[in-house]
Structure 1
Amino acid sequence: MNRSQDQWFDHNYYSTYRIAGKVERLAMCPDYHYLEALMLDDSILQFLPHWQRDSALHKFIRYVADEILEADNAGDRIVLFGSDPMRPKRTIPIEAALVSYGLRDKISFEIPDIPLVAHVEGNVTRFEVATEVYDACYEHFLELRWGQEYEDLLTMISGEVFYLMFTNRVALQALHEYLSRYVRGLAYDVDGSQDSGHVKYLKRAGVPRRAKIPKWVQRAVFFRDRGMCAKCGRDLTGLVNRFSSENFDHMIPLAWGGLNDVTNLQLLCSDCNNKKSDKFQLVSSRYQKWY
């Protein structure tokens, strides 16, 4: 694949907006119990390396998408899918998703047409999937969950959700404020006896080092913010060098445990950047209309 082709992706929309909505809610109001597995032990260390293309937002999205995929494929949800609309196959959502995203050529798991089990409670009758069907569906999902196809699917879904959420600076700042709490808890062991490989990313305890911003990061943030100061709206396209690092601001400052991450940057004019300095300020929720 050449470079120009690599700049495009096909959007297949598997629960894109549902996942994005949950990511935003968790960023704005973190559920620490729900996110416990994401930040278990020293999991914050995966976020520390500077300027990862697999950004903090991508990692966060995959965590949420995995949980939603598990819920969707717990065994009680059947979808009709196939190239023949007259004879679609009964399967579970993960199978349909793998084919839709081009990761498989065809459905490999079909659910037998077993009648639903009726449960009568007074005047109310409920119908449920038979236990053996439920178990078979969920076991099949768990088998897929350990495979590379599943990882590739999560990667593709996270790219789609990232595309929607990257413009939401308010949610991005909230996400990085959550992560910064864990970064601020990192120790800086001078003699290296307690080093878990993270000291090289720290200036001192709880404070990441400042790292040169790559061109791809500057380009992404510049075009996302449409060449305008995210604070005052000043047009910077003809006033500054487009890739001047002085105009790229960490929404959560490094001094506050902010990460060197593409989703932790905003474009500011020199005046707004100098006023903000290394202080914490809420980002602007003001955006220019498309028309």
Structure 2
Amino acid sequence: MKLDASISAVVTGGASGLGLGTVKALRAKGVKVAIFDMNDETGKLAAEETGSVFCQCDVLSDDSVDAAFAKAREANGQERILVCCAGGGNAIPTARRDKKTGEINIFPSDKFEWVLKLNTVGTFRCVTRSAAGMMTQEPIDGERGVMINTASAAATDGQMGQAAYSAAKAAIVGMTLTIARDLSREGIRVNTIQPGIFDTPAMARATPEMKQALGAMVPFPPRMGHADDYASMVLELARNSYMNGETIRLDGAIRMQPR
């Protein structure tokens, strides 16, 4: 797909981190972008900085997602590109024994479900709405649109305490080919990026020493990934019309250790 001012895109989680890096890369190509994000303040700032449209959006809500797509399309027209970066997780062991008291605690089911709803269901909720919109458009060079979802190295190399996050991201990997097949007759491609250790706002609490140590774990290059590394892959997946139904690891060849 060509990337220019004739194309519109939606980026969920677009106010920070990988999402914001993607917004900047798309805007640099002239693409009209709508930022979907929960945070009103950072969302408006990101939109002003990049010349995008901000649509406050909670991917856990049908009504919120529907309203965000309606606002985005009113401003920019029907999106041909969807990039899903919205997500998050927690770190809770499946079951653990308190070292002092011996009390045994289990992972609360509601907290497990919340991570799946945010990452997997939230992604799928946006995919279905975007697919329906793309299907109303005439193909451009044979395709109506492209979707790029975000998984994680945790999908295959989950560390201790990441049961929910690993399950949620593995589900995104698992549904990639199926959705690509579902939408193939409509000329809509679907791919997933599986990032490793990236320097995002989630790392805000990490000290410089900790970040350096994390980067040193990566075989090559020995550093954490940057948002523009992710954004570069998004651009290639959007442009390359033969990339479909794939999950691509973007991790410097790291394989995560148990902890």
Q: The TM-score by the shorter chain falls in which range?
A: under 0.3
Looking at secondary structure, tell me which structure has more strand per residue.
2
TM-score of the two chains, using structure 1 as the length reference: 0.23
- Please report the TM-score for the alignment, with normalisation by the length of structure 2: 0.25
